[in-house]
Amino acid sequence: MRLGVLDVGSNTVHLLVVDAHDGAHPTPIFKHKAELRLVESLNKSGELTRAGEQSLIEFVAEAKAISEDQGCDRLLPFATSAVRDANNSKEVLDNVLSATGVELRVLSGADEARLTFLAARRWYGWSAGQMLCMDIGGGSLELGIGMDETPEVAASLPLGAGRLTREWLAGDPAGKSEIARLRRYVDEMITGAIVPFREVDEPHRVVATSKAFRSLARLTGAAPSSEGLRVQRELSLPGLRQLIMFISHMSSRDLANLEGVSGARAHQLLAGAIVAESAMRHLDVPRVEICPWALREGVILRQIDMLSDGE
């Protein structure tokens, strides 16, 4: 079966075409993406701007045409934090449907956490034991922990790198007072959210997904993406703290020149690093392994499961 997964994320809108079958490894066939940064297109009223909506409609229409050209049996379109949290979300979704014929499914934060956890569980297998999974997106931070394919505890917090940069870091580079205020806010949010995570067994393995974690790991010495998916990559808490000290004085232009940093997301790097450091510190995690599978793969795997169950 050929599936097209249309992921309307807070930073990137991504179409991934895969060949997928029950019991088999999903094989990527085609990728197409655009950095729409919808989370930064929310106005002061919390609504997605007309320009942001139009760019989304154009990409969805393009993705639909590509999926048809690629011979996809199904298109699985979904949207995450930026669309979910927009005050005009229903209007945007209705306009996308009217203009393209594509009905975007809006995932809840809990859905994001569960599907990302599923992808990581399938990647590492049962040998990972009790697993803690972290994911930093453009709009939110997802956490999940458990022994099974569905996490025992899951949480989604509005601590995405794009959202925090827009709301807290006006300077380029950010000022010391801005950074201090952001740190306090992130710490407060995470401290309250992790209480249920402390009430379950400690993890045997801690993993992290997302572009933010991959970039941070690369900047602290992890292997580049050119070495393939199966090279083990890690991010340590001491290494992350040293990196934050280094990048907190840099402009987004200078950050974009660092190897492994996307020019379109360079300005979000510091906020993402602050969230990662706070989450690791409060959860007593000295290091994380970088998992190459994340939300998109979780959506694919869940779809395969549903089809094999006859749903």
Q: What are the residue ranges spanned by the domains of the chain?
A: 2-106, 123-295
Asked whether the bond before 173 is cis by omega within 30 degrees of 0, the reply is yes
Does 2-106 match 123-295 in CATH topology?
yes
39 burial (CB, 10 Å; 0-12 / 13-18 / 19+) is buried
Residue 281: CB atoms within 10 A of its CB come to 15
Which residue, among 160, 154, 123, has the nearest Cα to 140 in the 3D structure?
A: 160
Architecture of domain 2-106 in CATH? 2-Layer Sandwich (3.30)
Question: What pLDDT tens digit does each residue of the chain (311 aa) get?
Answer: 999 999 999 999 999 999 998 888 899 999 999 999 999 999 999 999 999 999 999 999 999 999 999 999 999 999 999 999 999 999 999 999 999 999 999 999 999 999 999 999 999 999 999 999 999 999 999 999 999 999 999 999 999 999 999 999 999 999 999 999 999 999 999 999 999 999 999 999 999 999 999 999 999 999 999 999 999 999 999 999 999 999 999 999 999 999 989 898 999 999 999 999 999 999 999 999 999 999 999 999 999 998 777 65
Topology (CATH level 3) of domain 123-295: Nucleotidyltransferase; domain 5 (3.30.420)
First to last CA, the chain: 15
What single-letter DSSP state applies at residue 256?
Answer: T
Helical axes 161-168 vs 269-282, angle rounded to 10°? 110
What is the C-alpha to C-alpha distance for residues 138 and 175, in angstroms, rounded to an integer? 21
What is the C-alpha to C-alpha distance for residues 274 and 279, in angstroms, rounded to an integer? 9
